[in-house]
Amino acid sequence: MGYRYSPLSLVGAHNIFFLTIMFLSCIAIRFNLCLSSVPSSLRALPFGGHFNFDQVSLGHAARDFGNRYQYHPMAVLHPESVSDIADTIKHIWLMGSSSHLTVAARGHGHSLHGQAQTHGGVVINMESLKVPEMHVHVGNSPYVDVSGGELWINILHETLRHGMTPRSWTDYLHLTVGGTLSNAGVSGQAFRHGPQISNVQQLEIVTGTGEVVNCSAEHNGELFHSVLGGLGQFGIITRARIVLEPAPTMVKWIRVLYSDFTAFTRDQERLISTKNAFDYIEGFVIINRTGLLNNWRLSFNPQDPVQASHFKSDGRTLFCLELAKYFNFEQIDIVNQEVEEHLSYLSYIPSTLFSTEVTYVDFLDRVHVSEVKLRSKGLWDVPHPWLNLLIPKSKIHKFAEVVFGNILTETSNGPVLIYPVNKSKWDNRTSVVIPEEDILYLVAFLTSAVPSSNGTDGLEHILSQNKRILEYCERAQLGAKQYLPHYNTQEEWRAHFGPQWETFLQRKSVYDPLHILAPGHRIFQKAITFS
């Protein structure tokens, strides 16, 4: 007997199919109408800045220093004032959860994994924000008030005009204040003064609801500490008050080499606990790089040229200790004596002592010199699959043995930094996650990938190497934490934050309840409802 279909069942099935198609079509039409109406509603906002909707501007906002992720926004805001930013965010906030729009603050575009990007949303060009102008206050507690979109290099030049300087830096100064304070801001001064987030007195924040809030440790302290190291999740930093100190004019800059990792770390740890020894302490790893000392001779003077010329690395893994002592011209004799005394306690290879004297500005802006050279060779705008880790002191030898002994085979694709910082200089009320030990090591693999290469300098090889390092850290339970963290799922983020996750979640619900801000980190996803 054949199957028979009643006309009623056929009609019912057809109707269900038709209704389903109509429902999906309505959603698509509604979504597209929403998209097409957004530019006009943004254009209608009354403020001094302006939006760009052209493909060139959108393409620029979809790129960053990492050069691996590209998410095109729908618009780029060039704010003239803080109220331009607040009005834009409030407009999107008032659109509610039916809007797909998210907002990303973009400074100098030095993000690595698309953190300052937003697919189909609004990118705010923070460098357009010039209000307020920099104001340096000189007195018993000196400080500078700056825009969140100001570059640190500009802050350096302006404060030096008043004989003052910020205390804590990043190695590269062509970054915005809001960008580094949203992460931490770490360099060779962090052992003494802490990261940049430990040297901020006040902030002005635009929250995820478009509210402008002034805060400090004493006033609106929860928001203040949330935003510092908060990866942009709780608000956009539009103004910051940075602590200053009297500025030196010169720097004695020293490099020495070690072949023994134990001696290298012992000396570093001794120096960061010695009062007034050096003002800057960093180290880096050198694997299979011959002729390094000859390169140093271009700008550094060997203490013993004859012995230095006989030094052979013989393919060994070497460790460079880089030190700096700040001074003024009239202090040169005293500084030389102090430096010589501190060096006498160290266990470096004697023939590898190199030193030079440079201006304070030239020392702090040293990475920019390399940038200019790389740009001239077309090697700046390449993929940068960087990996930054914070390793507890108790596990650093175990880490080095495996990573520098087996996983990493050379360091010719970019520097590998390794240096200790004192945890006591970090504020545990901020959003930054760091290991639970008194001394931590920052280990930064700052590699550059050669486009189209399939070799050890290619992107895939470097990414595979990074993955092996991370898998080893987890397998060996080193208690390492990513600095400038990057994860793809909320579960991974939950593991990263550990016990701090619930606090992070709570802060998000208060300051950015619709998950409008900083979608590029992929911590939270904006929930869209169709009503």
Residues assigned a catalytic role: 110, 171, 282
Q: What is the dihedral of CA 84, 90, 96, 97, to 10 degrees?
A: 70
Residue 376 in tokens: 């001239």
- Do residues 111 and 65 touch, judged by C-beta distance below 8 A? yes
DSSP per residue over 68-123, as a string?
Answer: S-----SEEEE-SSHHHHHHHHHHHHHHGGG----EEEESSS--SSSTT--TTSEE
Tokens 């590029």 sit at which residue?
A: 520
Phi, psi of 93 (to 5 degrees): -60, -45
CA angle 28, 30, 31 (to 5 degrees): 65
Cis peptide before 392 (omega within 30 of 0): no
Please, which residues have CB within 8 angstroms of residue 77's CB and are 6 or more apart in sequence? 49, 50, 51, 84, 85, 88, 122, 123, 124, 125
Distances (CA, A) of 436 to 119, 273, 391, 470, 505: 36, 18, 10, 18, 21
User: Is the Cα torsion angle 304, 299, 441, 222 positive or negative in sign?
Assistant: positive
Both tokens of 198, joined, read 């430990």
Bridge partners of residue 420, in order along the sequence:
441
